[in-house]
Amino acid sequence: MQFFKSIVLLCAFSVSVSANQKNEYDVSSFQDAANKAVEKAKENGWLKDIDKPTIQEKDIALAKSIADQAVVISSEIIKRALPQQENKIDLLEGTDGAIFVSFSMPRRALIDAFKVAKEHNLTILFRGLEKGATHISSTMKLIQKLSAISNVEPNVGINPLRFKEFNVTGVPTIVIRNSNKHLIAPGTLNAQYAKEQFDQKQGDFKLEPLGQLFNIDEPDIIEQMKAAAGKIDWAEKQRLAKERFWKKYKTYPLPTSEESKQWLIDTTVRVTQDIKNGRGEILARAGDITNPLKQYPMHLTIFVIDPYVKSQVDWVKEELKSISGQFQIHLTYMDKGKGWDDLSKFRNEFGAPVFILPIQVIEKFKVEATPSKIETQSNGYLLVRQFDWSEK
């Protein structure tokens, strides 16, 4: 067994020295040497007694609990799979496993990895964005370039949880798996050999490194996000969001009423298309003329007031003591400098549903001034009353 290790390491070392002299990485030579060493080991039975490694339980539990929230960066997958996925995406589903890679690997090795992944139904997995990247777009461009050069489009994703699950600390590493077991083959792109070993082994298994392993340059993208989130002043973000909301939110102040008057709103409508309930039953047919308040009687009261006029606030409080049915309070104005605080204060003060007056209420019910009161009537009409407030 030790002799086999020495052969593999010697092959890797000799190729590495040659590569340094040529200033390039000869993937094919390295792969051939590794394949020959592996075949020799198989013939002599040197692989029989390799100890089975163990994966830390906490890593497995973590990976399963978070359930593979993968970031899909293959253009083919984005078009075909992403729009239909509402919850989570498992890039290994429907595949035979994955090839774990990094941009630290020589370019020719990465190109070979793409070809092998496509040929053997494997997913290419990175741990994070390329070193120094601040946005996923630059990583996507690199991957698209590799895909174009290799002339294949395998599934490609970023998933640090899989690196933890299979304890991948160097690349390339092939993981072959099914629902019952998995096999980890570090230091190789020989997917055929990895699959053969997978068929021969019982249970989970990790091979000794079959060739040169490269460090993983990409930082864990989850840790990156945690670190970035930790630097954000969320309290300040919240404050600014509140300010932006009230700056953009349009209110519709109304004058204080100087006369008392009232009018009726007819709620009769002509149905333009069939109206159905949740069970598909037709409630009204297209062309019907109907009054929904007659058909489905309800008692609703809407108060329209200026919340900064204390007498109007007191008036509503008094009205609420004797009101029946459903009711709402619509406020015509809100101090935008302290909008959320004031809105919360008014809701607590009334102990009732409070809304900012929408333009639709003004237009549909012809509301002109405050205070006003809108009530449903048993005859199917809405009664709108405006109260003289000039003396209050």
Q: Band the pLDDT of 81: cuts 50, 70, 90.
A: very low
CA atoms within 13 A on the CB side of 317: 13
Please give the pLDDT value at position 62: 45
Inter-residue contact 158 to 127 (CB < 8 Å)? yes
DSSP structure class, residue 82: G
State residue 130 phi and psi, 5-degree precision: -60, 155
- Six token digits for residue 215: 């460090």
Residue 355, H or E segment? strand 354-356
Instruction: Render pLDDT for 117-139 as a digit per residue (tens, 0 to 9).
Output: 999 999 999 999 888 887 888 89
Q: Band the pLDDT of 45: cuts 50, 70, 90.
A: low
Please give the pLDDT value at position 71: 38
Please give the pLDDT value at position 133: 82
Instruction: Render pLDDT for 210-253 as a digit per residue (tens, 0 to 9).
Output: 999 999 999 988 888 887 777 777 788 777 777 777 778 888 89
For the stretch 337-345, contacts whose Cβ atoms lie closer than 8 Å and that sit 24 or more positions apart, written own/partner, are 337/246, 339/242, 339/245, 339/246, 339/249, 340/242, 340/246, 342/307
Structural domains of the chain, with CATH: 1-49 (no CATH), 53-226 (3.40.30), 261-266+293-386 (3.40.30.10)
- Six token digits for residue 330: 């619509």
What is the model's pTM?
Answer: 0.44
Please give the pLDDT value at position 68: 38
Inter-residue contact 127 to 106 (CB < 8 Å)? no
* Ordered DSSP codes for 98-120: EEE--TTS-HHHHHHHHHHHHHT
d(CA 326, CA 313): 18
Higher pLDDT pick, 177 / 79: 177
Whether residue 47 has pLDDT greater than 80: no
d(CA 104, CA 331): 61
Q: How many CB atoms lie within 10 A of CB 98?
A: 26
CA 30 to chain centre: 41
Inter-residue contact 118 to 111 (CB < 8 Å)? no
Instruction: Render pLDDT for 137-182 as a digit per residue (tens, 0 to 9).
Output: 889 999 999 999 999 999 999 999 999 999 999 999 999 999 899 9
Inter-residue contact 99 to 116 (CB < 8 Å)? yes
Whether residue 363 has pLDDT greater than 80: yes
Q: Environment class of residue 227 by beta-carbon count within 10 Å: exposed (0-12), middle (13-18) or buried (19+)?
A: exposed
Whether residue 8 has pLDDT greater than 80: no
d(CA 56, CA 166): 9
Query: Stretch 200-219: mean pLDDT, rounded?
Result: 93
Q: Shortest CA distance to 354 belongs to which of 319, 307, 386, 308?
A: 307
Q: Are strands 182-186 and 205-206 parallel, antiparallel or unpaired?
A: parallel
Whether residue 105 has pLDDT greater than 50: yes
Whether residue 70 has pLDDT greater than 60: no
Higher pLDDT pick, 78 / 324: 324
Whether residue 49 has pLDDT greater than 80: no
CA-CA-CA-CA torsion for 353, 356, 358, 362, nearest 10 degrees?
90
Higher pLDDT pick, 247 / 67: 247
- Six token digits for residue 235: 């309290």
Please give the pLDDT value at position 269: 82
Please give the pLDDT value at position 2: 35
